[in-house]
Amino acid sequence: MLVSSEDFYAQYYDILYSHRNVKSEVDFLEKVFQKHAKRSVKKILDVGCGTGIHSVELARRGYSVLGVDASKVMIERAREKAKDIDNVSFMVADARHLKLPEKYDAAIAMYGVISYFTTDEDALDFLKSIRESLESGSIFVFDTWNMLGVLEKRVYYETPSTHVRKYGSLIALKEESWRLNVLSQTSTAEISWSVIDLKSGVIDTASHTLVLRLFTPRELKHLLRESGFEVVTMFEDYTCKPITESSSELVVVARAV
């Protein structure tokens, strides 16, 4: 059955990201908070939270968490998932214009949230909105694509690929192809998903096109500085490997000044 991409992502978010180790990623976040924050981290803002997989894990570890996402369907799914957890809440919001009533000790934006803001203006609005939501000395952690590393592997990324993921009785088949635009520093991704329920035999499908911004480390440092942050460090991934020119992804640790 063909499903709208928004409904599809909300329903199957956990299987689509089942290749990620959320607990390990939250372990990483806690280490960063302890090492680099200049204030005790108790309240965390999860921007672009999806169905709340990181929000819920952080709440289970004792943090007070607010998850925000532009998708009402995603937020409904997140609230359902966290209905028995008191110290996490969710709201629908545009990350570029948060205007929250209180400030937080840390913020996260996982799985390429900043890459959806393809213009400098939108990226700056996004970063400034988060800065306004943080106390001074707070830590902001996010990940994105590294233009240098992706360009080096251009043939790999522009070759159509298929990935299979299994989650309980569900099997997800992902078919994707990228087209890089070096001048605009964007990638257009054509993605098709099929999820098969082995118990019921139901097959749900969805297709969509994403245009994602690719950043260089130097660009990010400039944008963060303009938004009231200082860059503490950058990693290749959530295992604390240092970045190189060949790194396809960047995990950025910034501090609100």
pLDDT at 212 over 90: yes
Confidence of residue 6 (pLDDT cuts 50, 70, 90): confident
User: What is the model's pLDDT at position 95?
Assistant: 98
What percent of the chain clears pLDDT 70, i.e. is strictly above it? 99
pLDDT at 53 over 90: yes
pLDDT of 178-197, one tens digit each? 999 999 999 999 999 999 99
Report the 10 Å Cβ neighbour count for 181.
11
Confidence of residue 5 (pLDDT cuts 50, 70, 90): confident
Average pLDDT, the chain: 96
CA dist., res. 86 & res. 82, Å (int): 8
Contacts of residue 94, defined as CB under 8 A and 6 or more positions apart, other chains included, come to: 70
State the average pLDDT over residues 79-100.
97
User: What is the model's pLDDT at position 3?
Assistant: 66
pLDDT at 4 over 90: no
Confidence of residue 213 (pLDDT cuts 50, 70, 90): very high
State the average pLDDT over residues 4-15.
88
Taking a C-beta distance cutoff of 8 angstroms, is the pair 140, 254 a contact? yes
Q: What is the pTM of this model?
A: 0.95
CA dist., res. 163 & res. 192, Å (int): 11
Cα Rg of the chain, angstroms:
18
All structural domains of the chain, each given as residue ranges with its CATH number in brackets, are 5-145+216-256 (3.40.50.150), 149-213 (2.20.25.110)
Confidence of residue 2 (pLDDT cuts 50, 70, 90): low
State the average pLDDT over residues 103-119.
98
